[in-house]
Chain A
Amino acid sequence: MLENGFILRHPLGKLTGCESEEILPEGGFGAVMARAGVGKTALLIQLAIHSLLCNKNVLHMSLNDPVKKVGLWYKEVYRNIASQYSIADQEQIFENMLPHRFIMTFEVEGFSVPKLEERLTDLMEQNIFRPHVIFIDGLPFDESQIEPLSDLKAFVKNHSLKAWLTVRIHRDEKPDLDCIQAQLNSVEDLFETIILIQPEGKEIYLKALKGGKPDSVATGLSLDPTTMLIKESDWIKRT
């Protein structure tokens, strides 16, 4: 989707070691973990914009925000990316992205995997939209979700999709890695990659808890607190 003269890498490439290719395999699950307000949605949308720029169809599912708000998130994050990487013809590229993005929002209590499957079948059968990657924001993450998550994993696999999910860490939990690991234990097997967003002082670090390079915690990426964009990863490069 970008004009000639740019090379796209994966924004999380430095953490996972697969800079030039997709991090998740087909049917794979990736998690973006953080406390509320630390930047899960912003990071998720950066990953989604990367997919869109790679000409992939993106289904964004939100259980928090209405369609309009999600649309604004994309606009804002894209605008920041475009000015950070000096992309010319910004508006046109964004316009071109829109038909490749579909936003679906549900009420948390109204969401279920069969419902998602029904909606998606509607879209695919009528050739309205066929996603390659699903981004899910706001799915509650507790013991009761193990079964729906397994169903979702099966669904993603059956349709040869990939999915990134946000996982909210509760405020009352200590931010040390062991505690978080404990929260994830029950569902960890479902995920190929787990990225933690962790604020430390004035910095916000990204750490790969799973699926990262062995030294990823040490060589972690960080987010720019003003734009919430990944700082060190030049994932859009001019040739």
Chain B
Amino acid sequence: MTSKTHKNPGQIALFLFIALFLLSFLIIPVVKVFYVAFIDVNSGSLTLINFKDFFNTSLFIESFNNSFYVATMSVLLATLISLPLAYFTTRFEFKGAIIIQSLGFVPLIMPPFVGAVAMQLLFGSNGSINLLMDEYFGFTIPFMEGLNGVIFVQSLHYFPFILINLSASLNNIDRSMEESAQNLGSSGMRLFRRIVFPLAMPGYVAGASLVFIKVFDDLGTPLLLNVNNMLAPQAYLRISSIGIDDPMGYVIAVILVIFSLFAMWIASLALKGKDYSTVQKGGGGLAKRKMRPFERIVAYFIVILILLTVLSPHFGLTLLSFGTIWSYSVLPDGFTPDHYVEIFAETPEFMMNTLLYASLAATIDIILGTSIAYLVLRTKIRFRYWLDYAAMAALAVPGLVLGIGYLRTFLGASIPFGDAPLATWWVMLVIALSIRRLPYALRACTSALQQVSRSLEEAAENLGANKAKTIQRIVLPLMSGGLLAGFVTSFATAAVELSATIMLVSTESDAPLAYGIYVFMQSAAGRGPGAALGMVAVLIVGLGTYFSHRIIEKGRRERSIENNNQK
């Protein structure tokens, strides 16, 4: 088998193409910005002294520890939120499973700025919940204060990474494994702990490592809660201060990248040397278990409680978008549709641009993600792991840095068949988005491929199919759940990306929704329209997700009918 997969010219070409893509659109632009970290400000020569300063500065060490603590706790809390949602909807006959899966995904779409305002108005120290609690119980809970506030918001925001990847994995587990265990007398929690969860490990690790790295590298949430003593905000504050070129900002960014790669490597160790693939699947014939009435009531209660919590920011956003003035009160003073009228009158092109950019970027991500996963798991090309690591490093690169890097790298070149600079062409915006969201798609594709047994491919090849046909007819259909998960995460998060976008947008007619929200949220009067635009973003992405789920489910059902007819 190894000799067969070795030295396939097509695979080498693919490897080179992806390596070139990552080199031009990620590594070179980022290195052009990051080299400052290795320059001695006094002499201009190359040095590591800035890194020594990093480790000698107690504020940075403290920030590192805080970031680590927050990332770890967020993974734990996110796991608690996603486990029941994923388990109930994939292993049982559960009415509304698709809706729950789609809704459970909405928290990822947190429009910039307005999402933060909505959270403050609900959970802040003088937000609706605390105002009510103060009135009726005489005490308040600091949901949004300090590191615990960051953990709370981050887990609500990023748990869908675990939910999506874990659900894809659970759907792929061979039912017969569970049945064998049941026949041998195992049931309940023991069955889950010993059989189901271990088999779903690739998906869980994919999701959990994403949550960990994303939270570790995220600057948006700490900044909105005004928590400065974490690494990513420290880097951001130092990079974006007016007139100061403090190398420490870039040093921190380099350290974020290195640590993220380290975390990826640890995650890959957790899966190493184990085989997660199961042969008999893809038929989609997973007989889902029926719940007993009592079980069903408990399950629905848990699911609804979780959904209410995780969707509360969007509930707040809805109120904000219809509210007149909302200040130090439980609910807005009044309601009006004016904000929606305003945005539809002024900014129709934002929505089309967002749909176009996000879907193009997500498509690129799926193609690259599948290719990289395939090269890493199915070939023996040297350095293939570096593709994976390089792509994942994008998680730790602040959008601002990527944006500056693009301007620096591509400003000199012109766009094909035109004379405007390449850097300000909208296609570059799409590429920047796809680079920023590639890690999400890549993890989903990798975990999906990990669960596909090689013997299925070998069987196809023995029957005379060539590599391309095997991939097309066997591998891709079996990976479809993971591909969907990857597409949807990339699409949804690209739709609300701002930091690289704001650097690269050069005409208003090219701007996406996130930019429109930013523009509104710069003034007191823009809060309502900004929230309305945020709601539009959520709806677009939510509907996109729902329909993707429908299409995949339909495909699965059709395949299973086909299988049953053949029997």
Whether both chains belong to one complex is answered with no
Give chain A's interface residues, CB within 8 Å of chain B. none
Interface set of B (CB-CB < 8 Å, partner A)? none
